[in-house]
Each structure stands twice: as C-alpha cells, then as structure tokens.
Chain A
Amino acid sequence: MIKKVLLVENDRDTLDILIYILEDKGYHVISSATGAVLSRIHELQPDIIILDEWLDNGESGSEWCRRVKADNSTAGIPVLLISTHPRLEDIAHAAGADGFIKKPFDINGFCSTVERYLNS
C-alpha cells in the first residue's frame, strides 16, 4: 500500500524539494506550508508526519507534535521533526517526537530515516 506522508514545511523551496524526493521514492505526499493541515489529521490518516519546527504565525512543529501524541487515535503515527534548530534533538525528545532530521541534510540520510520510521 502506498504510504501517506503528511509534510509540513515552512520554506517553500525546501518543501518543493522534499515533495520531489518523497514522491520520487513512491510515497503519497500531503503537504502544507502551515500547521493548519494537521487539524484534518483524522480525515487524512497519514502513515508518517514530517513537521518543520519553525512555522508561520508563531506556531511550532513540536506543539503540533504534542497534540498528535496526546490524542490516542493519532498517537501511534510516527512524527519526525525537521529543523535548523541547534537543539533539535532536545526539542524533539521533549515533544514526544519519534525522530528528528537536522537541516541541512543529506538526501540519502533523509530518505533512509523516513523509510525506517515508516516500517517500524
């Protein structure tokens, strides 16, 4: 079955590249530049969520991550935080994220991380 990746990335160029990479790997990518899409999470039923930490309107990926993890019906969905933040590891850990990807990244590393969490 095609895996659904819910991708939220604030930077337009990065978002485009990530969509390209993920679609190139054969995933169904649902993307957004803002966190609003996450309110439709029950409807979308993603297999994995990749969240940028720094979002517009003062939102943060980790805050969305907490909400996902606080809801029993969505808590099982793996969440990866992706950011340039120097303390990303701590932030991801504190928010209950499953993993993190530091920017800038190596696309091979990025792909293998996503793949690993999708299969876990």
Chain B
Amino acid sequence: MADNPGKSATQTHSTNLADQAPALVWLADANMLRYSFNNRWLTFTGRPLEQELQNGWTEAIHQEDVIRCFSTYSASFKAQTEFTVHYRLRRHDGAYRWLVEQGVPRYAADGAFTGFAGSCLDIDEVLKQQLEDLYKPSMIEQALNEELAATNEELSATNEELVTTNEELVESQHRLETMVDDLAGRDQKIRSIVESAPFPIGVYIGREMRIELANQSIIDVWGKGSDIVGRTYAEVLPELRDTGIYEQLDRVFTTGEPFHARNQRVDLVVDGKLQPFYFNYSFTPLYSAAGEIYGVMNTAAEITDLVVAKQQVEQSERNLHNMILQAPVAMCILLGPDYVVEVANEKMIELWGKPVKAVWNKPIFEGLPEAREQGLEQLLFDAYHNGVAYHASEQPVQLLRDGTIDTIYQNFVYEPYRDIDGTILGVIAITIEVTEQVMARRELEAREAELLLTKQRLEEELEAGKKLQAQKDSFIGIASHELKTPLTSLTAIIQIVGNKLKTSADPYIPTALEKANAQAKKMASLINGFLNISRLEAGKIVMDKQQFNLHKLLEETVDDLGMTTQGHTIELADSATTEVFADREKIGSVVSNLISNAIKYSHKGTSITVRSQVEDGFVKVSVTDTGVGISSNDINKLFERYYRVESSQNRHISGFGIGLYLSSEIIKQHQGRIWAESEEGIGSTFHFTLPLP
C-alpha cells in the first residue's frame, strides 16, 4: 500500500534531496494521494511514514483547518494549478503550529500530469504576529463600544443626542446583520467544501450524534441514500451496534480525545446486504467558540480495494502453498539468494529423506549438504539471477537417505518464482522421482538385449531349420529323381518290348507286358503322390490359379479315364457350364483321384457318375459310385493323411491313402470344401465345392 507504482529512480533521488531541504516536503500522485514525505516532515509530526501516507497526513491537521485546507488542496489538483494554503498541523509535542504550504503540479516528460510536489514552512510565530495585527480592528471596535457606553451615559444626560444615538444603534444593528449574513455565507462555503471533498466526511452534533453534515462520499460509503441529515448516527447505521463504534464516538464526545482507526473492517448494509469494507478513519471533537464539545467530525479513507487486493495476494500465496502441499509430485519454493525452503510438500520431504525440521526455513544446501557440487547450484543460480528455467530428465542425484548415499533419478524443473511485478523472489522446484522407471527401463533394455540375442539365436535356428528343410526338399527331389530315373527306362523298355511282342505266339506275353506297364505307371503315380505330399507340407505347392471352364475339365478327365478303364462306365451328367478361377491341373488331379477311387471301390460292370451344379456362389462337383460304400466310422477320417479303410473287401486294393488327403488339401487351398456321403453296400458320393469367381 505504501508503494506508488509510478515511483522511479528519479523520484527516489528527489526524495533524497527533499530530505535535505529546510522545509517539510511531500509528493502526491495524480490522485492526490501523498506517497512521499521527507524526514523533516516526519520529525515534525513525530508520526511514522505509514501513518502519513495517502490521506493519513490530514489526521494531524487542526480540526478547524482541515476542511478548508483540503478543499484548497483538491481544487488545485483538479485545476492543476499552484496553491498556497495556511493550516495548523499537530507537532510531535501535541502543539498545533501554523504552516504555509505551497504545492506545484508535476508533469512527466510526455506532458502527463503526475501529481503535486509541495513544501511547508512553519510560520507559527510570524502568523501569530499577523493575527494580532488582524485582531487590532476588533480592539478598535471595543473602543467604539466603550465610546457607545459613554454616549449612553451622555444619552441619559442629553435627550437631544437620543436620535443620533438611535441612528447609530440602527446602523450598528445593520452591521451586525451583515456580520450574521457573512457568517451564514461562510457556513455555506464550508458546507460546499465538505460536500466536494473526495473522501468521506461527516459531522455529528450532540451526544446523540445527530448527523449535521454528510458529504456525498460518506453517503456513497454508507449506501443508505442521501436523506440522512437530521437523523442520528445509530439510526442510519444500526448495523454498527456492538462493533464498538458508537462507544468510540461517545468517548470522543465526552473526553475530547480524537480517535483514529487504521485498516479497520467495518461491515455495512449496502444494497440490503451486509458487506465488509475497510477504512482508515478518525473521529475528532468539534469545539464551540466557548470551548465546549458540541459534536464529532468523522473523516475516513476507504481502503477496501487495497485490503481486498492485499487479501487476494495473501490468498493466492496461500493457494500456491496449498497447491504445492497437495501436489501429486514433489514441489517446493526456495526463496532468496540462499534458496531458503519456504514451503515443501510431503513428497519433496520424502525425496530429501530428511526430517521436516532439518530442511524447513533453511537454505537448501544447508539442509541438504550432500546435494552440493552436483551442478544444482549453477542451475538454481541461473533460475534466480537470470530467470532461466531449467528442465531436466532422468538426472542422477546423490542423496543421503537413512544414512546411506542413494543415487536417485529425477525429472525436475527449476522455474523462477516471480511476484506480480515480475521480480524474481525465488525458485519453484518440481521434482518427479523416476528412479523406478529408469530402473524398469534399464531392466527392459537388458531384457530387450536378451530378447535380441534370443531372436538372433532363433533366427540362426530358423536358418538352420530352413537349411534342413532345403536339404529335405533336395532329398525328396533326389529321391524322386533316383526312383523315377530307373522307372523311366523300365517303362520305356516295357513299352518297346510290348510293342514288339504284340503279335507273340505265346498269348501270355503281350498281357504280361501290359500288366508290367500298368504296374510301372502305378509306381510313377505313387512316387508323384509322395513328392506332392512333401512339397505340400513344405508349402512348396503354389496354386497356379487361372480362369477356366470347369465343364470342359470334367469332360476331358472323364474321357481320359474312360479310355484307360475297362469294366466300368464313367459318365458326365448334369454338368453346369461354369467358369472357375482355380489351378486347372490340380483340380483335374482331384477329379481324377475321386473317379479312380470310385473305380477301385466298386464292382466291375457298374457305372460312375460325375455331376456339377451351382449352389450359393459355389460350384459343387460330385462323383457317385454304387460300390461297397464306407462305414460311418470311417467316413470322417477319409481325408486324413495315410488313412486307409480296413476291410476284408478292399484288402486287395493298393494305395497309401494319400490321394484323398492331397485332394482335400488342394480343395482347402481353393477355399472350397470336400466331403463324402455313403451307405455301406449301396455306394458313395464324394463332393467338393469351389467358390465362383
């Protein structure tokens, strides 16, 4: 409150000058509030600076002078003109001394009005002399009266002089009336001065404190409307009962001792609501000409805004402290160049590992000596002196906790702590201990490294596995080659010999060679079957899909098999002419396998029927025989690898049981389905489906 925001170095300089001046010197801002008094002033009044600041100085003005003095003061401010005023000011010894005060307006470089500077001189001695001179006419008047008395005496003696004397009396009466008028005019003047005073003034008459005068300012403060003159203070302000204010007024009235209150909270009913206000106020006794107290003058300065602002600052400081205390992370405020621990929350204390007493209100490096020389001093210095915020992550810090030095890891922030003007008061430190996270991450990193090793090992193993698979593949390739190569020559020889001996005299020979050829072919097909299985399992068979006409494929397959089959009829019935997107060769081998199975498992002379039909976005191919049929036990296992149905009826039938497995794998890779329906002794139907393109 004492600080004027506009106060600059120049003003400080002029204050120093003023201290050396032989006069009482003051400075006021553009709002008439005085913010500076020289030492001579303070020595004169014997009051501390804070009591004089703003309008406090008026308290020491003689009650008879205060209104006049202040009205001149305020009028000059309004007009920004120089002024001279005389008033009595209470000296430190209680004596009122006449001063002459002169004020001059002051302007900033840009021409803006900045307030007034003033000086006062004690002219008490001089003025008293002048006053005496001033009162001389009244002595003349007294002499005149004496003369009048003498004249009266003469009146009784001399009748003639009566008229003259009467005339003189009338004249005297007239003068008296003029004086009364004059007095009334002065009263009016005073009233208007009080009215226009920018601070609350009230005058209460009698012990009942009847309001004689209340200026607009006090009316505004009270908030009770303007119709209050003539009512008593207690009537107007009933809410002040039990606050002691009535008693203060009464004491002033009865004892004549003025009462001054500072920063006083006064709750007033304004707009129908009891609201808190803050005042510096004075009650001063008013004396009649006869020296009797006839009333009390009340002057006040409302400082609610100041107090509220101060409270707000305090509250926001408290909020900050509370916020820090309740923060979920470690926080503290370190004040001043010694970084004194102003506030630190539990988390911070915990982090420091010290009893609260050991660190609270102590410079940080005194409370935590082991935190020295880790580079923190420089960081704090930068924050405090240079306003540089510092953010660190995962900083290792060594702290003595429970008797042992621990290395902990912290993410922390040092932020300059500024007041409202931006002046750095200290440093706010926020710390999050991340030791666990750092440790966890390190462990994670170690695990990751381990994992990487494992991965490398696995990759090596996989590589080895692939190599093995390649070897296996090449083994299958070689095995197949080695098996097929002799078979090639064998088959060729059998065929050549068969051709040559077709017309042999021995009828057995052509038949035998024919059988040998058939067996060789079967062998080739078995070798191919194994090769396919191996390749299928190694993922080496790729479906070479293309668009083709399924009907045509069925026709070709049926024709091919028909030519080489004796004893069975194969017919294609109800074949849908439809295009599919599939591996033609492999689908052909599936159909061929199903027809071959049907031939194998049905009696000679029966017929095998192939059908195809479109159903729900799929084409279904079915191969039906009237053979031995399949038991319900076996029907679901037919498509397993190496599964063979064991029965007395089919023991003579050769095969490794891989045909249906291979077929089912091929159909699966086409997103189709393969299954069988059968009744023992009646026959079987094998179906597969393929999605339509």
Contacts and interface: CB of A to CB of B under 8 A. Distances in A.
Given A20-B496, A105-B491, A106-B495, A13 B486 contact: yes
Given A54-B481, A104-B520, A104-B524, A84 B488 contact: yes
A62 B481 CA distance: 17
A104 B491 contact: yes
Interface string B470-495: 00000001001100111111111101
Contacts of A103: 484-485, 487-488
Contact of B480 (A18, A21, A86, A107): A86
Contacts of A108: 495
**Smallest CB-CB A-B distances: 10 pairs:** A84-B484, A13-B489, A104-B488, A103-B488, A17-B492, A104-B491, A107-B495, A84-B481, A14-B489, A104-B487
Contact of A17 (B481, B493, B524, B531): B493
Nearest to B541: A86
Nearest to A84: B484
Interface in B541-569: none
Given A86-B480, A105-B492, 19 more contacts: A14-B488, A16-B489, A17-B489, A18-B492, A21-B492, A54-B481, A84-B481, A84-B484, A86-B528, A103-B485, A104-B484, A104-B487, A104-B488, A104-B492, A104-B524, A105-B491, A106-B491, A107-B491, A107-B492
Nearest to B484: A84
A81 to B, nearest CB: 14
A115 interface: no
A33 to B, nearest CB: 13
A85 interface: yes
Interface of B: 477, 480-481, 484-493, 495-496, 499, 520, 524, 528, 531-532, 535
Interface in A7-28: 11, 13-14, 16-18, 20-21
Interface residues of A, number: 19
Given A104-B520, A104-B524, A84 B493 contact: no
Contacts of A86: 477, 480, 528, 531-532, 535
B475 to A, nearest CB: 13
A106 B525 CA distance: 13
Contacts of B496: 17, 20-21, 107
Contact of A85 (B477, B488, B491, B492): B477
B506 to A, nearest CB: 23
Contacts of A17: 489, 492-493, 496
A89 B535 CA distance: 16
Contacts of B524: 104
B436 to A, nearest CB: 59
Most buried by B among A16, A54, A86, A110: A86
Contacts of B484: 84, 103-104
Nearest to A105: B488
A14 B492 contact: yes
Interface string A88-110: 00000000000000011111101
19 contacts: A11-B485, A11-B488, A14-B488, A14-B489, A17-B493, A17-B496, A18-B492, A21-B496, A54-B481, A84-B481, A84-B488, A86-B477, A86-B528, A103-B485, A103-B488, A104-B491, A106-B495, A107-B496, A107-B499
Interface in A36-88: 54, 84-86
A105 B485 CA distance: 11
A54 B481 CA distance: 9
A84 B480 contact: yes
A105 B528 CA distance: 13
Contacts of A16: 489
Contacts of B485: 11, 14, 84, 103
A14 B492 CA distance: 8
B79 to A, nearest CB: 111
Nearest to B532: A86
A18 B480 CA distance: 20
Contacts of A14: 485, 488-489, 492
A105 B488 CA distance: 6
Most buried by A among B477, B480, B484, B535: B484
A84 B495 CA distance: 19
B670 to A, nearest CB: 20
Most buried by B among A21, A54, A84, A85: A84
Contacts of B520: 104
A73 to B, nearest CB: 32
Contacts of B491: 104-107
Most buried by A among B481, B520, B528: B481
Most buried by A among B489, B491, B535: B489
Contacts of B495: 106-108
A103 B492 CA distance: 10
A11 B481 CA distance: 11
A17 B531 CA distance: 26
Contacts of B531: 86
Contacts of A85: 477, 481
Nearest to B531: A86
Contacts of B488: 11, 14, 84, 103-105
A20 B496 CA distance: 9
A103 B520 CA distance: 12
Contacts of A11: 485, 488-489
Contacts of B532: 86
A35 to B, nearest CB: 17
A54 B490 CA distance: 19
Contacts of B535: 86
Contacts of A104: 484, 487-488, 490-492, 520, 524
A37 B217 CA distance: 129
A65 B641 CA distance: 39
Most buried by B among A18, A21, A103: A103
A117 B404 CA distance: 94
A72 B499 CA distance: 41
A91 B658 CA distance: 27
B268 to A, nearest CB: 105
Contacts of B489: 11, 13-14, 16-17
Contacts of A54: 481
Nearest to A10: B485
Contacts of A18: 492
Nearest to A82: B488
A20 B477 CA distance: 28
